[in-house]
């Protein structure tokens, strides 16, 4: 428990994601952390101080000019107490204030007065996140050495879709644990190449064939491998995800483009993980102009795409090759069949028909298979699952070398 007895000041600002703060406090305390909550006026409009006091077990602070607190210099006391100042959710307004060095409320004053590290989990409308002013402020935030966790992408409370969602409490707790953990660089000297996300197979200039893959699992594996010391390259289809820290990224659209990049990069890879949901077929004749609606029925001829992971496994200098099998039935049967047919070293299988895991979910569960064994990785958030998978791949790779 890397958070055992760590003192965390949690700043809660005025965004709809503030309703998740109670769960965040509970999860931090479950990991052994001491939590003191500081709220802005806007934060109190979304969740009550009494709620956060109840789950944290400590009084909630919300005023810079509270006579009782300031008799003991409350903002200085909290600033010195903290091992980490975490702001979740962090609104565009609070981010702007911190970037400008303002101290007009208790939370921003603590940020100026503390010697502890600061981390923020941004939460705002997607247009606000992409606004030039916000992005300029984020550059200042990065220059100040403040950790930024998120934002995530998806449907927002206002109905918009895109970047701006606060990442889930489980992910934030994972970041906190990683922050305090002494990193063990078990993968130093290794180069991992990971495919992630969907592919898009064009029909005409405005239409394409694709699937529901979000890329979250592949990006989580990339992040976990990088944290463990590997050099990581992500070959990504079109996704709404930020590149994991310290990872190189190659963006592609089609399966053929991903195939080309995978073969080129895998030649110098230690491990190749084929996590992308690659389209099995592409359109035989891509139209140069938009197809107009006419007949009630339209037929499109499809041709098979190259099998990326199978072709990587055929390389003369073959990396340790890991496939993924996203199935809706007979998961073990199909996974073992792919393992043997494609000459893979390992395959990670999951049932995407199961509610709450797989495509577009923050959680997942996997069963990994190799020639003479298997291992269950139970349902958890994708960041934690990725860490377990990376460790299992490394362990299995070294077992193969010893045998």
The CATH number for 294's domain is 3.40.50.10300
Domain boundary among 135, 157, 180: 180
Tell me how many domains the chain contains: 2
- Positive or negative, the CA dihedral 309, 313, 315, 321 is positive
The residue annotated as part of the active site, out of 111, 158, 176, 275, is 158
- Give the predicted TM-score (pTM) of the model: 0.62
Q: Is 30 helix (H, G, I), strand (E, B) or coil?
A: helix
- Say if residue 121 is in the same domain as residue 146: yes
Domain boundary among 151, 180, 209: 180
Strands, E assignment, 52-94: 84-90
The least confident of 48-52, 61-65, 252-256 is: 61-65
For 380, phi and psi rounded to 5 degrees? -160, 180
Per-residue pLDDT tens over the stretch 164-181: 889 999 999 989 988 887
Percentage, residues of the chain above pLDDT 70: 93
Which of 107, 147, 150, 112 lies closest to 9 in space, CA to CA?
107
Judge whether 128 and 134 are in contact, CB under 8 Å.
yes
Is 158 catalytic? The answer is yes
Q: What does the pLDDT read at residue 350?
A: 86
Domain that holds residue 244: 191-402
Per-residue pLDDT tens over the stretch 89-132: 999 999 999 999 999 999 999 999 999 999 999 999 888 998 99
Distance separating alpha carbons of residues 205 and 66, to the nearest angstrom: 61
For 162-225, the DSSP string reads EEEEPPPHHHHHHHHHHHHS----TTTT-EEEEEESB--EESSSS-EE-----SHHHHHHHHHH
- Say if residue 388 is in the same domain as residue 246: yes
Confidence check: pLDDT of 277 > 50: yes
């Amino acid at each position: 428990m890397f958070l055992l007895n760590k003192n965390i000041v949690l700043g809660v600002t005025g965004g709809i994601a503030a309703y998740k703060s109670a769960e965040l406090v509970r999860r931090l305390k479950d990991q052994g952390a001491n939590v003191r909550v500081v709220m802005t006026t806007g934060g109190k409009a979304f969740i009550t101080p009494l709620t956060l006091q109840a789950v944290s077990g400590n009084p909630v602070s919300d005023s810079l000019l509270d006579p009782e607190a300031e008799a003991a210099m409350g903002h200085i006391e909290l600033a010195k107490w903290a091992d980490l100042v975490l702001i979740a959710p962090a609104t565009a307004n609070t981010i702007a204030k911190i970037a400008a060095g303002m101290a007009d409320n208790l939370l921003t004053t603590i940020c100026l007065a503390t010697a502890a590290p600061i981390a923020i989990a941004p939460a705002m409308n997607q247009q606000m996140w992409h606004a030039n002013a916000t992005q300029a402020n984020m550059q200042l935030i990065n220059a100040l050495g403040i950790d930024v966790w998120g934002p995530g992408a998806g449907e927002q409370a206002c109905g918009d879709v895109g970047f701006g969602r606060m990442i889930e409490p489980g992910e934030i707790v994972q970041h906190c644990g990683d922050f305090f953990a002494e990193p063990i660089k078990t993968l130093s000297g290794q180069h991992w190449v990971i495919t992630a996300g969907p592919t898009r197979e064009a029909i005409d200039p405005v239409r394409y064939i694709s699937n529901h893959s979000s890329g979250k699992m592949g990006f989580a594996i990339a992040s976990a491998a990088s944290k463990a010391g590997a050099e990581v390259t992500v070959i990504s289809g079109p996704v709404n995800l930020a590149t994991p820290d310290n990872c190189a990224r190659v963006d592609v659209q089609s399966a053929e483009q991903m195939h080309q990049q995978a073969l080129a990069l895998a030649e110098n890879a230690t491990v190749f993980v084929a996590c992308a949901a690659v389209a099995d077929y592409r359109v035989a004749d891509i139209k140069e102009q938009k197809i107009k609606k006419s007949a009630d029925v339209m037929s499109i001829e499809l041709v098979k795409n190259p099998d990326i992971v199978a072709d990587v496994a055929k390389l003369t200098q073959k990396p340790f090759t890991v496939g993924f099998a996203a199935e809706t039935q007979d998961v073990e049967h199909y996974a073992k069949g792919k393992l043997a047919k494609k000459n893979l070293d390992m395959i990670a299988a999951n049932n995407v028909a199961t509610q709450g895991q797989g495509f577009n979910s923050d959680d997942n569960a996997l069963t990994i298979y190799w020639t003479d064994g298997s291992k269950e990785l139970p349902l958890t958030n994708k960041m934690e699952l990725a860490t377990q998978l990376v460790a299992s791949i490394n362990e299995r790779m070294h077992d193969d070398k010893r045998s």
